[in-house]
């Protein structure tokens, strides 16, 4: 979709980009200054594989996880990949809660493992059903991948479901991989609850996180894995062979972001809370759209009820006819072909234009809005 959007733009079309999952903000000035100072000071060489000690200390202080080991990675994606490659042996199974970021499936397959997809239904608010998860566990299951808040749905796993998933991990001796990259982005009183905080889970949980979304530093490629010592050692070995270390000067900037970039994050969360309300107001009254309010992240994952038109066809039509780039839901798992993912990590004007174009195309296709209550 992104490549096709670029083609259309080269042909002179104006495309509204609601498909890219990255904040539209710049990076925190304090982080930029620190990275520039590090470059000027000659911080351009390898660091220790595990990362700069001052960065690991900043991560430990922010997360309160002095009891765990930290491995700084080249972005959150590498943290997930290194964890999966360290845990999964050929033939092992990993449970992935769909709809999910496609990299989980890819990393498991790269390790020679078998991803087992357990769908979380829209009618349940995309909450995982612990009994469905239990039914998917076999003697070969080694890993449970948890993502909350979720990409693509924005769902935040409710505390009772987190507790139930943790109980399954303890009962069946599973490792949990908790992707917490969107943990700062929660709305309307929702609270992120880490599975690592459940009893008996610190010794069997790997947390993957990064600077990318929390401080709008996607191109800096600084992430980390937080894990109990034996797992951290294995993750560090994989990381050493994948990338050696994250960029030294970017790590220096990340220290400043973690220590002093809180206002930057707060401003993003406030603005994306407003953009979330814009999405709900802009699409919530359309007969063809079934949209649950996302509790976190910066994505909406509406289901489309357009006869004979699936999510991929709808996304293509929206791009070609309306000039709005979105992601079809089928990219995030089987059974979600009638959904689309909208990223509202954009400016108010960009989102307003995109939503207006979506409404126009949907209503022009003969689908009217429901009357206001």
CB atoms inside a 10 Å sphere around CB 38 = 21
Distance, in Å, from the CA atom of 218 to the CA atom of 71, rounded to the nearest integer, reads 18
HEC letters along 231-264: HHHHHHHHHHHHCCCCCHHHHHHHHHHHHHCHHH
pLDDT at 373: 33
CA–CA distance from 167 to each of 2, 171, 198 (Å)?
A: 40, 6, 9
pTM of the model: 0.94
269-290 per-residue burial string, b: 16 or more CB within 10 A, e: under 16 = bebbbebbebbbebbbbbebbb
pLDDT at 365: 64
pLDDT at 56: 96
pLDDT at 369: 40
What is the Cα 194 distance to its own chain's centre?
14
Distance, in Å, from the CA atom of 354 to the CA atom of 318, rounded to the nearest integer, reads 10
In this structure, are residues 328 and 315 in contact, taking their beta carbons and an 8 Å threshold?
yes
pLDDT at 1: 85
Tallying the residues shown for the chain, one arrives at: 373
Strand partners, 339: 303
Greatest distance between any 2 Cα atoms in the chain: 63
pLDDT at 124: 94
Q: Along the 373 residues of the chain, how does pLDDT read in single tens digits?
A: 889 999 999 999 999 999 999 999 999 999 999 999 999 999 999 999 999 999 999 999 999 877 679 999 999 999 999 999 999 999 999 999 999 999 999 999 999 999 999 999 999 999 999 999 999 999 999 999 999 999 999 999 999 999 999 999 999 999 999 999 999 999 999 999 999 999 999 999 999 999 999 999 999 999 999 999 999 999 999 999 999 999 999 999 999 999 999 999 999 999 999 999 999 999 988 888 999 999 999 999 999 887 777 788 889 989 999 999 999 999 999 999 999 999 999 999 999 999 999 998 888 764 434 433 3
**Domains of the chain, earliest start first:** 2-18+263-364 (3.90.1150.10), 29-260 (3.40.640.10)
pLDDT at 368: 36
pLDDT at 70: 97
CA dihedral of residues 330, 98, 287, 156 (deg, nearest 10): -140
Strand partners, 115: 94
CA–CA distance from 293 to each of 45, 227, 316 (Å)?
A: 46, 32, 24
pLDDT at 24: 95
Is the preceding omega at residue 149 within 30 degrees of 0, hence cis?
yes
């Amino acid at each position: 979709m992104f490549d096709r959007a670029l083609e259309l733009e080269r042909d002179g079309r104006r495309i509204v980009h609601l498909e890219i999952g990255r904040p539209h903000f710049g990076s925190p000035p304090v982080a930029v200054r620190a990275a520039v100072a590090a470059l000027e000071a000659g911080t351009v060489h390898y660091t220790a594989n595990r990362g700069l000690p001052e960065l690991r200390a900043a991560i430990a202080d922010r997360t309160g996880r002095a009891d765990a080991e930290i491995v700084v990675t080249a972005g959150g994606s590498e943290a997930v990949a290194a964890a999966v490659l360290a845990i999964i042996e050929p033939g092992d199974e990993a449970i992935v809660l769909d709809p999910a970021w496609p990299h989980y499936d890819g990393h498991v397959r790269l390790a020679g493992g078998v991803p087992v997809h357990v769908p979380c239904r829209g009618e349940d608010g995309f909450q995982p059903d612990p009994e469905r998860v239990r039914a998917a566990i076999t003697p070969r299951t080694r890993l449970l991948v948890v993502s909350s808040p979720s990409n693509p749905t924005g769902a935040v796993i409710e505390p009772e479901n987190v507790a139930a998933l943790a109980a399954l991990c303890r009962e069946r001796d599973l490792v949990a991989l908790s992707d917490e990259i969107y943990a700062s982005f929660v709305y309307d009183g929702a609270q992120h609850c880490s599975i690592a905080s459940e009893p008996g889970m610190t010794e069997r949980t790997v947390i993957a996180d990064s600077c990318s979304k929390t401080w709008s530093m996607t191109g800096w490629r600084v992430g980390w894995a937080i894990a109990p010592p034996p797992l951290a050692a294995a993750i560090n070995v994989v990381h050493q062979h994948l990338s050696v270390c994250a960029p030294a000067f970017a790590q220096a900037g990340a220290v400043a972001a973690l220590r002093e970039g809180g206002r930057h994050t707060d401003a993003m969360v406030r603005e994306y809370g407003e953009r979330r309300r814009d999405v709900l107001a802009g699409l919530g009254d359309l007969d063809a759209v079934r949209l649950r309010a996302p509790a976190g992240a910066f994505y909406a994952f509406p289901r489309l009820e357009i006869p004979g038109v699936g999510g991929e066809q709808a996304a293509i039509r929206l791009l070609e006819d309306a000039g709005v780039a979105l992601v079809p839901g089928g990219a995030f798992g089987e059974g979600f072909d009638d959904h689309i993912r909208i990223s509202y990590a954009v400016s108010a004007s960009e989102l307003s234009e995109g939503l207006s174009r979506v409404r126009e195309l949907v209503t022009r296709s003969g689908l009217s809005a429901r009357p206001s209550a």
